[in-house]
Chains A and B, each alone.
Chain A
Amino acid sequence: MLKILKYSFFDLMRSRWSYVYFSFYLLLSFVLLFLNNDLSKAIITLMNVIIVLVPLIGSIFGIMYYYNSREFTELLLAQPLKRSSIFLGQYLGVALSLSMSLVLGLGIPFGFYGLFKSNIIWDFALLLITGTFLTLIFSALAFSMGLNNENKIKGFGYAILLWLFMAIIYDGVFLMSLIMFEDYPLDKLSLVGIMLNPIDLSRTLILLTLDISALLGYTGAVFKQFFGTNLGLLISFAMLSVWVVVPIWRITYKSKKKDF
């Protein structure tokens, strides 16, 4: 598996798109820092960008790579290799190269602007961690979409639809249901609601650092326990890990059964 990972990884490292992705983040954070020179404000802006953009790029890149490397996959399948290690290797190659572009693209400019001497290093670390998690989650989801659909167009469509659903539609439905059932106690429901969407989950992690004063304005005891203590942070990270593990498990499961 490691060998396949290495091949995929270096294959992607040579590809133009990794560089584009990397330089996009590099440019974005340099511009943000150049314009206002305020690290913490730049982090807020980046957080907003990351929770939308990273899942999108993760899904598109994942599905693209899956379909593009189909011939290579078929070649590998003819060899005495475990199926799960072929697909997992490819998946990890994509996910890691994307994460690396993200971490380096954001890390270098912030490093230049004196991140290590400032006290917001924890906020920045959180930003990188959520970004990496989202990359892992959405490229895994894209891979399993690819395994499900032979048809490229369909696969692409589903991957983008999934992103659209998670990023926008889900919140709309969620908001409507909260308003509809406002007569009932909703704090548990709303917490469960965010757990079921990785984008919302990462958004919550960001809220915990940025908007804690507003969140504490709400009277629910469950909310208070969740947001007021480290419990929220721990549960969010645990759920994000579950969100990584489940699609990966699906990839291995599917790849074993699939007929090529």
Chain B
Amino acid sequence: MRAKLVLWVLIFMTYSGISQTIEVCSTCRITSLSQGIAMANPKDTIVVKKGTYLEHNIKIDKPLVIVGNDYPVIDGQFKGEVMTIISDGVTIDGLFIINVGTSYTEDYAAIRVKKSKNFVIQNVVLEKLFFGIYLEKSSYGKVYHNKIVGDAKEEYNSGNGIQLWYSNHIEIEHNYVVHVRDGIYLEFSDDCLIKNNVSSMNLRYGLHFMFSNNDIYKNNTFENNGAGVAVMFSKKIKMLNNIFRENWGTASYGLLLKEINDAEIIGNTFEENTIGINIEGSNRIVYKHNNFIKNGWAIKVRGATYSNHFIENNFLYNSFDLAYNSKVNDNSFDMNFWSNYTGYDLNKDGIGDVPHRPIKLFSYIVNKTPETIILLRSLFIDVIDFSEKVSPVFTPDNLVDKKPIIKRIAW
């Protein structure tokens, strides 16, 4: 009998330990989030009611679920970091965090996850921030449906929206990041999935990869960023069905590839960028089913770029489809649609009978003397382009699409 009672008590205690809910509001017993965290047991839920909480340096050191009701405001008063997670299994849901401190020596973040696993950060709104969500040596987490609105003016005193540093297996999904330095930044982070995000009007890059391998990003929209999207020094990245739009400027790209190997770039749309894709030192990349629409340069190849395959892409009304800065070519172009293809298809198999040379002499001239861009679409330029097309002298002579498609490719 006594043993049974002890058992019941034990069960009750553990049960209450799991499901205990702590409420935080201005009129409750507990009036601040840090107080609530201090009082909570592991696996408790803290419900933060609507209101404004002037708090910073909130440390979450046990597995908790922190839920905001109607977006309570956590105001960091520009005093430093707002929340730091140093425990596994933390969930943060529905908070509105503002006024993160700015520092030139430390990267203060609205929410920092430090050496933790299995965290979820969702439905969070961040404004007036330095760094937004900073994941540091953390893995197996989820960053879902957050809205990050910065007010970055200069690169040197602004931070990134979502930053990953040595963090693996992270899912970043349905976030909206605007007006920060880099929208999403990955450094030394492998096996991450970045999906359905919108990253626009950022000072530098919409998405930025450094030394991160085996990552996938798909269905994202990158628009109007200072320098587009940069993928650098990374291997085996999959870039699928993203939209890169209106990245205009002298050093602006839809997508910048630098030292990228074995990547797949499939189903993306590059529209009205100064340079659609800028490729530098990148090897064994497959470009398939991409749309290049009305870019200044659809693809600019800078050098040390080998074994890239461009298959079944649409090149539509770009000022230049392709630019090379050398005569060497080891990349292949096959079965693409080129809107300025002038050949014909007599046997009606959908493939042009005359090979297409996507590179124009003029793009070579512009590369050497940039001011000549002003002669674009001149009749004289058309004449010399035509003569170069007939017998290539300055441009790589093996650079041809032998099977240009006659109609725009749909997939």
Contacts and interface: CB of A to CB of B under 8 A. Distances in A.
Interface string B267-283: 00000111100000000
B225 to A, nearest CB: 14
A175 B250 CA distance: 22
A204 B374 contact: yes
A203 B378 CA distance: 7
Interface stretch (A21-29, A183-191, A248-256): A183-191
Contacts of A174: 375
Contacts of B348: none
Contacts of B96: none
B296 A175 contact: no
A191 B379 contact: no
A37 interface: no
B157 interface: no
B316 to A, nearest CB: 9
A235 interface: no
A171 interface: yes
B373 A171 contact: no
Interface string A159-173: 000000001110110
Given A52-B379, A172-B380, A218-B250, A213 B295 contact: yes
B383 A168 contact: yes
Interface in A204-243: 204, 206-207, 210-220, 223-224
A179 interface: yes
B379 A168 contact: yes
A48 interface: yes
A2 B379 CA distance: 38
A217 B380 CA distance: 22
Contacts of A172: 380
| Main secondary structure on A side of the interface with B | helix
B380 A168 contact: yes
B369 A186 contact: yes
Contact of B374 (A52, A194, A217): A194
A46 interface: no
B209 interface: no
B378 A217 contact: no
A111 B377 CA distance: 27
Task: Sort chain A's interface into a size bin.
Answer: 35 or more
Nearest to A174: B375
B248 interface: yes
B165 interface: no
B279 to A, nearest CB: 16
B296 A206 contact: no
Contacts of B250: 216-219, 224
B381 interface: yes
A178 interface: yes
B379 A167 contact: yes
B376 interface: yes
B373 A218 contact: yes
A51 B377 CA distance: 10
B365 interface: yes
A115 interface: no
Contact of B373 (A52, A179, A193, A214): A214
Interface in A37-96: 41, 44, 48, 51-52
A212 B296 CA distance: 8
Interface in B290-339: 294-297, 317, 319-320
A189 B375 CA distance: 13
Contacts of A216: 248-250, 252, 274, 296
Contacts of B297: 214, 217
Contacts of B272: 213
Given A217-B297, A218-B250, A211 B376 contact: yes
B155 to A, nearest CB: 18
Nearest to A219: B250
Given A211-B296, A214-B297, A217-B250, A48 B377 contact: yes
A182 interface: yes
Interface in B334-384: 365, 368-381, 383
Contact of B377 (A167, A168, A191, A203): A203
A175 B274 contact: no
A175 B375 contact: yes
B379 A178 contact: no
B295 A175 contact: no
Instruction: Kindly name the residue among A168, A175, A200, A213 whose own CB sees the greatest number of chain B CB atoms within 10 A.
Output: A213
A213 B369 CA distance: 18
A74 B252 CA distance: 63
A41 B319 CA distance: 13
Contacts of A189: 371
A214 B368 contact: no
Contacts of A169: 380
A178 B369 contact: yes
A191 B317 contact: no
Interface in A77-121: none
B369 A182 contact: yes
A177 to B, nearest CB: 10
A219 B370 contact: yes
A215 B373 contact: yes
A189 B383 CA distance: 23
Given A211-B319, A213-B319, A219-B250, A175 B380 contact: yes
A204 B372 CA distance: 12
Given A179-B368, A182-B368, A211-B319, A217 B275 contact: yes
A179 B372 contact: yes
Contacts of A204: 374
Interface string B235-249: 000000000000011
B274 A171 contact: no
A-B pairs with the 3 shortest C-beta distances? A214-B296, A214-B319, A171-B380
6 contacts: A41-B317, A48-B377, A171-B378, A171-B380, A213-B319, A220-B370
Interface of A: 41, 44, 48, 51-52, 167-169, 171-172, 174-175, 178-179, 182, 186-187, 189-191, 193-194, 200, 203-204, 206-207, 210-220, 223-224
